[in-house]
């Protein structure tokens, strides 16, 4: 191309930072869209300006990596068009639609690198709509960005490495963690262990977190079945009740952090009409991408946890690889040579990450069987207050065996979160009630805006 291509990176987490870095090295000045106030994404979320907590205190064993990502992004600031506090709310042919400070803008592109990361994957529990219930990610935000705990006596419940990481971060910050309640089996399967041993040092680090929690006096339980979160409308959460190998147990608390691993933030890929595929191990629909991050739509590249949950290290490698592939596809001078030199090593890294990802998904499985057994009065969609019984009625009375049909009848997934927190569980409930595999009931289709806009948002001017 004779003129410099217009390249946009959405996201300033590990994948977005490394993508922007590769673009700058090639002489491109990319636009970097960041929904956050500062770079780092969720995993390396920065503390606000003026806060002085050390990297070790904030990020623990990941302190060195967090500092590296932050430092490298800061070095890029003068060579990129960085737009923090900016929401990418829609995507049409060759144009990204964003809004910042109530002003909309249409940004045309030659290549779009979507590095949107992931959010918590949540399973409804009776009482999870009470005040005092948070996702694991929200628990982290409170600690990192607001320097406070979500409660004075906290229980963490769910499954996956993030469960133990957040609990450890709370203990390190001096908060009282009552218990960590894990729905995963006590012993991983052989297939899970094979995957976990793809990154033995990281697996050992996870065991170290568990050891440190035990030393801190935190109650640890595996193979739990969540029964209910107790409390009332006035004071919120008062206890978590589970069934474990120890019998029925009640843990008094005033806050609960919940999460079952992660779900990809794939809304922009959906709006861009990218093809999706069903991942049987994690039981979720994911955007289809080739080994370099090319989606099924020309000009759209996908990297990081927004396409596959590979963790921060995998996101860094995927972000750089997608940027190199985009540069080569656009015939930027010297890009093809750089791609050929770096791609084999990046591919090898991502293969290791993929094996580890599968090991994690098998060791900490999504407890889909619990959705089928949820009491009818359990709130599934907290935004619209839709219960499990209402979804089952959609199946039985209205023959809504597809999730978007059930959405039309019940309004599940039509609230502020747009199905981010209820979509997976809703699909499991509908599938169980229909007697169908969960992939057969589909996924909630994305509608723009991907997140609510201010009522006074000004209309975008012509593309610029």
pLDDT in the model for residue 370: 94
What percent of the chain is predicted at pLDDT more than 70? 98
Confidence of residue 56 (pLDDT cuts 50, 70, 90): confident
pLDDT (average), residues 127-156: 94
pLDDT (average), residues 101-124: 95
pLDDT in the model for residue 94: 94
User: Where do the H-state alpha helices sit in 247-399?
Assistant: 267-271, 311-329, 335-363, 368-372, 388-398
Q: Are strands 247-252 and 236-244 parallel, antiparallel or unpaired?
A: antiparallel
pLDDT (average), residues 179-208: 92
Confidence of residue 50 (pLDDT cuts 50, 70, 90): confident
pLDDT beyond 90 at 329: yes
pLDDT (average), residues 268-285: 96
Confidence of residue 60 (pLDDT cuts 50, 70, 90): confident
- CA-nearest of 355, 440, 336, 315 to 16 is 315
Q: Which element (helix H / strand E) includes 71?
A: helix 63-76
pLDDT (average), residues 118-127: 96
Report d(CA 413, CA 383) in Å as an integer. Answer: 8
pLDDT in the model for residue 47: 79
pLDDT beyond 90 at 135: yes
pLDDT beyond 70 at 359: yes
pLDDT (average), residues 299-321: 94
Topology classification of domain 369-441: Arc Repressor Mutant, subunit A (1.10.10)
Report d(CA 102, CA 123) in Å as an integer. Answer: 33
Confidence of residue 1 (pLDDT cuts 50, 70, 90): very low
- CA-nearest of 398, 430, 350, 461 to 95 is 461
Report d(CA 167, CA 175) in Å as an integer. Answer: 9
Per-residue pLDDT tens for 395-447?
Answer: 999 999 999 999 999 999 999 888 999 999 999 999 999 999 999 999 999 99
pLDDT in the model for residue 45: 84
Q: Give the gyration radius of the chain's Cα atoms.
A: 22
- CA-nearest of 244, 307, 242, 323 to 274 is 307
Q: Is the dihedral of CA 112, 42, 411, 279 positive or negative?
A: positive
Confidence of residue 462 (pLDDT cuts 50, 70, 90): low
Confidence of residue 78 (pLDDT cuts 50, 70, 90): very high
Q: How far is CA 414 from CA 87, 383, 409, 441, 452, in A?
A: 19, 8, 11, 17, 11
Beta strands in 160-279 (DSSP E): 177-182, 219-221, 225-232, 236-244, 247-252, 255-260, 262-264, 276-279
Range with lowest mean pLDDT among 106-110, 174-178, 200-204, 344-348 = 200-204
Report d(CA 432, CA 36) in Å as an integer. Answer: 38
- Comma-separated ranges of CATH 1.10.10.1100 domains in the chain: 369-441
Per-residue pLDDT tens for 16-30?
Answer: 999 999 999 999 999
pLDDT beyond 60 at 365: yes
Backbone angles phi, psi at 317, to 5 degrees: -65, -40
pLDDT beyond 80 at 278: yes
Topology classification of domain 122-257: FAD/NAD(P)-binding domain (3.50.50)
- Comma-separated ranges of CATH 3.50.50.60 domains in the chain: 7-119+263-360, 122-257
Q: Which element (helix H / strand E) includes 92?
A: strand 86-92
pLDDT in the model for residue 54: 80
pLDDT (average), residues 441-457: 88
pLDDT in the model for residue 461: 64
pLDDT (average), residues 187-202: 92
Confidence of residue 460 (pLDDT cuts 50, 70, 90): low
- Count of CB atoms within 10 A of residue 161's CB? 18
Topology classification of domain 7-119+263-360: FAD/NAD(P)-binding domain (3.50.50)
Average predicted confidence (pLDDT) for the chain:
93
pLDDT in the model for residue 167: 96
Report d(CA 360, CA 30) in Å as an integer. Answer: 34
- SS3 call for 23: helix
């Amino acid at each position: 191309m004779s003129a410099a291509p217009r390249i946009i990176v959405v996201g300033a987490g590990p994948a977005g930072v490394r993508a922007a870095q590769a673009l700058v090295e090639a002489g491109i000045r990319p636009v970097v869209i960041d929904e956050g106030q500062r770079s780092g994404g969720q995993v390396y979320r920065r503390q606000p300006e003026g806060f002085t907590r050390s990297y070790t205190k904030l990020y623990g064993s990941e302190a060195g990596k967090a500092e590296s990502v932050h430092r490298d992004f800061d070095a890029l600031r003068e060579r990129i068009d960085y737009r923090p506090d900016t929401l990418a709310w829609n995507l049409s042919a060759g144009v990204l639609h964003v809004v910042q400070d109530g002003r909309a803008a249409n940004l045309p592109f030659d290549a779009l690198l979507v590095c949107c990361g992931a959010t918590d994957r949540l399973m409804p529990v009776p009482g999870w709509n009470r005040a005092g219930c948070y996702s694991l990610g929200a628990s982290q935000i409170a600690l990192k960005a607001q320097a406070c705990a979500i409660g004075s006596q906290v229980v963490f419940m769910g499954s996956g490495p993030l469960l133990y990481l957040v609990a450890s971060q709370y203990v390190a910050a001096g908060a009282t963690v009552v218990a960590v309640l894990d729905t995963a089996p006590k012993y991983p399967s052989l297939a899970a262990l094979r995957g976990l041993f793809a990154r033995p040092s990281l697996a050992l680090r996870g065991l170290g977190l568990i050891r440190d929690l035990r030393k801190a006096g935190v109650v640890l339980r595996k193979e739990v079945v969540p029964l209910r979160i107790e409390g009332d409308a006035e004071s919120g959460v008062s206890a978590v009740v589970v069934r474990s190998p120890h019998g029925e147990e009640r843990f008094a608390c005033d806050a609960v952090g919940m999460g079952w691993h992660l779900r990809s933030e794939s809304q922009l890929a959906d709006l861009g009409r990218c093809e999706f595929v069903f991942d049987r191990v994690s039981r979720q629909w994911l955007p289809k991408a080739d080994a370099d991050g090319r989606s099924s739509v020309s000009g759209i590249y996908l990297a990081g946890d927004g396409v596959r949950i590979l963790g921060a290290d995998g996101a860094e490698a995927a972000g750089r690889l997608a940027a190199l592939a985009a540069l080569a596809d656009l015939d930027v001078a010297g890009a093809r040579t750089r791609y050929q030199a770096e791609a084999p090593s990046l591919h090898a890294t991502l293969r290791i990450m993929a094996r580890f990802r599968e090991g994690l998904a098998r060791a900490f499985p999504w407890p889909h069987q619990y959705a089928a057994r949820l009491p009818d009065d359990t709130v599934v969609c907290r935004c619209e207050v839709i219960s499990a019984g209402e979804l089952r009625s959609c199946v039985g009375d209205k023959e809504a065996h597809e999730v978007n049909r059930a959405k039309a009848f019940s309004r599940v997934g039509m609230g502020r979160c747009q199905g981010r927190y209820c979509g997976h569980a809703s699909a499991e409930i509908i599938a169980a009630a229909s007697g169908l595999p969960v992939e057969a009931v589909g996924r909630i289709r994305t509608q723009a805006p991907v997140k609510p806009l201010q009522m006074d948002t000004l209309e975008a001017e012509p593309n610029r």
